[in-house]
Amino acid sequence: MSITDVQRGSKQPPRHGAQPSPQLTDITDSPAGVNNFCITVATINGSGSQTANNCLIRALFKMGIPVSGKNIFPSNIQGLPTWFQIRVSEDGFVGRRDTAEIVVAMNKNTLAEDTKRVAPGGVLITPTEFKVAEERADITYYNLPVQQMAKDSGANAELRPYVANMVYVGALIELLGIDAGEVEAALVSHFKGKAGPINMNFGVVKAAIEYTRANIVKRDTFRVQKSNKTTGKILIGGNEAGGLGGVFGGFTVAAWYPITPSTSLVDALGDYAKELRVDKASGQKYYAIVQAEDEIAALGIVTGAGWMGARAMTSTSGPGISLMTEYIGFAYFADIPVVVWDIQRMGPSTGLPTRTSQGDVLKVYYLGHGDQKHVILLPANMEECFEAGWHAFDLAERLQTPIFVLSDLDLGMNLWMSEPFAYPEQPMDRGKVLSAEELDQLGGFARYGDEDGTGVGPRTLPGTDSPLAAYFTRGSGHNARAQYTERPEDWLANMQRLARKHEYARTLVPRPVLDETPGAEIGIIAYGSTDAPMAEARAMLASRGVKTSYLRLRALPLNEDYARFAEKYPRVYVVENNFDGQMARILMAEEPKLAAKLIPIAHSDGLPLTGRWIAQAIVEQER
């Protein structure tokens, strides 16, 4: 049966001798209640709601409650509907939740859709000005005079739509028991202590609290209470973490062209570099960040800088990767170290481009013209985004090749809880770089030679003070001594060397994370942002008596851990956020003898996967 047959909902043929498991009933989300529910805020893109939503997340986090947020926004800059989901989970689950117990509907154009979204027993909060007909008997309605309160704030007409968002912040503080002091602290941090905007926004918050207390009778069961589950943790987004990691990894050149959702990674890189890579006395910058005219030029700059010996990187998304393909092929065949961050999204500039996906995995692994396989890092959390920021440079220089870091919008542009990052203690790995003294001792070198079987030859950097340092950099046919050739045997020898390099990479990339359960007959494989809902999915399955073991891939190429894992289990589900089961295809190609065990669980609709969806998809196959 093909991957797409399974992915599109067809069940596998019945397993020999297998009987339906009576405990495998439909999966439902955990019961909502104290410190366990989801808030969905529906607004208009460009209305300033991000400030309000982030204040709520930071306040809940400071109260010790595990919390996560999800941006769901359109591809336009301003004016179309946008949603933001805030999940509160005492159990620490941070993947997206299917149900929305509290919906704040601030966009009249999506009101009908948002009303349907409210879970039975949930709450709908709307502006009084919408004059909502309370047609659903299974939910609670609360109304707030949003426009009047924004007007009463003293804000001018241009600012009123922005401060209006603070009305629902104040109402949620009163209805749920959120600490108002923590919201004020979040505003102080956001506005960098500027009294004017702080007082205006928090004034609206206080007015909304007072209005809610005086005019609304709470008729729902949702509330929060202080906990201690976030002690010692930080809140950060994946693009910020990756940018900080790049600074710690010693980047000196970055070139890029703006594209959602990768732009904020370079923004963060620049912000941290200004703080950490500028001489305080002289003001001299020890880095260069260039906005190029397009993605082709961006990678051209990075490739040239990598050849010169700089630690160089770019950040883009799927459409940019397509434009970079030729330079990637050149860097691969010429053995030039570069780092490319791909913050994956749905697709090109039509449809749902700025929604999340894991749809570039197959393309990037084989990217180029001719036979190529690339090294890919697959971070799944903020610590790994930071680690990838510096480790990618070490790998690029050790292997002399392009290194890809595949994140996605969900990881990159949302706030996540994290342990503080570990400082990279080991020195930078510059790889096989020959000095003038070493060249004099050797009497020369073979740039594309392979004396130790790793497929990696020695290199020199421009400016090395030795007449023996020069060589021709060739992306076309070359022999071990960098001489141009069209001889078939030389081409084959070079391809064999590059294949040995790929095998060597298997020993250097991060190993998979294993969590095996005694007695499990089911193996699950996932990677990247799918790890967050996987924790909840496995808990849901375990509560129904279904034991699972889990392998999370952290990189390609694979090492021996994958085969050892897959060989242990009769059935291995490969879960990913794309349509075609791309990682499953790679696993089948890499280990054909294990292909029959793999069952792809692939889904892509622009949203992060949920634990309930994953668990239900596995249940459907196990029945």
Domain range summary for the chain, segments of one domain joined by +: 3-27+511-622, 36-215, 236-418, 436-491
pLDDT one-digit tens code per residue, 114-154? 999 999 999 999 999 999 999 999 999 999 999 999 999 98
* CA angle, residues 507, 508, 512, in degrees to nearest 5: 80
Per-residue pLDDT at 77: 60
Mean pLDDT (the chain, rounded):
93
Per-residue pLDDT at 3: 42
Nearest CA to 115 out of 219, 223, 106 is that of 106
**Pairwise CA distance, residues 389 & 216, whole Å:** 49
Cα distances (angstroms) measured from residue 376 to each of 278, 373, 493, 528: 31, 9, 24, 11
Answer whether 163's CB lies under 8 Å from 153's CB.
Answer: yes
Question: In this model, does residue 291 exceed pLDDT 60?
Answer: yes
Per-residue pLDDT at 47: 79
CA torsion through residues 589, 590, 591, 594, sign: negative
Question: In this model, does residue 11 exceed pLDDT 50?
Answer: no
| Beta-sheet strands, E only, within 45-194 | 67-72, 81-89, 100-105, 118-127, 140-144
Residue 280: pLDDT band (50, 70, 90) is: very high
Q: Does residue 75 or residue 398 have the better pLDDT?
A: 398
Lowest mean pLDDT among 40-54, 236-250, 301-315, 553-567: 40-54
Lowest mean pLDDT among 18-22, 231-235, 380-384, 581-585: 18-22
- What is the SS3 assignment for 171-217? HHHHHHCCCHHHHHHHHHHHCCCCHHHHHHHHHHHHHHHHHHHHHCC
Q: Percent of the chain at pLDDT above 90?
A: 87
Lowest mean pLDDT among 24-33, 461-470, 568-577: 24-33
pLDDT one-digit tens code per residue, 409-435? 999 999 999 999 999 988 999 999 999
CATH classification of 36-215 is 1.20.1250.20, yes or no?
no
Residue 353: pLDDT band (50, 70, 90) is: confident
Taking residues 105-113, report their average pLDDT.
Answer: 95
Per-residue pLDDT at 351: 57
Crossing angle for the helix pair 180-190 and 195-215, to the nearest 10 degrees: 160
Lowest mean pLDDT among 25-34, 102-111, 306-315: 25-34
**Pairwise CA distance, residues 599 & 524, whole Å:** 9
Question: In this model, does residue 494 exceed pLDDT 50?
Answer: yes
Residue 72: pLDDT band (50, 70, 90) is: confident
Nearest CA to 52 out of 152, 150, 157 is that of 150
Per-residue pLDDT at 17: 35
CA atoms within 13 A on the CB side of 328: 27
| Beta-sheet strands, E only, within 227-311 | 234-237, 253-256, 288-291
Q: Percent of the chain at pLDDT above 70?
A: 95
Answer whether 549's CB lies under 8 Å from 519's CB.
Answer: no
CATH number of 3-27+511-622: 3.40.50.920
Per-residue pLDDT at 6: 43
| Beta-sheet strands, E only, within 293-387 | 312-316, 338-344, 375-377
Q: Same CATH fold, 36-215 and 3-27+511-622?
A: no
Per-residue pLDDT at 350: 60
Per-residue pLDDT at 48: 82
Per-residue pLDDT at 391: 98
Question: In this model, does residue 7 exceed pLDDT 60?
Answer: no
Per-residue pLDDT at 9: 42
Answer whether 193's CB lies under 8 Å from 125's CB.
Answer: no
Cβ atoms within 10 Å, residue 296: 16
| pTM, two decimal places | 0.94
Residue 2: pLDDT band (50, 70, 90) is: very low
Tokens of 431: 């790889």
**Pairwise CA distance, residues 24 & 2, whole Å:** 25
Per-residue pLDDT at 474: 80
Residue 12: pLDDT band (50, 70, 90) is: very low
Class of domain 236-418: alpha beta
pLDDT one-digit tens code per residue, 511-556? 999 999 999 999 999 999 999 999 999 999 999 999 999 999 999 9
Spell out the residues 6+ positions from residue 280 whose beta carbon is closer than 8 angstroms to its own: none
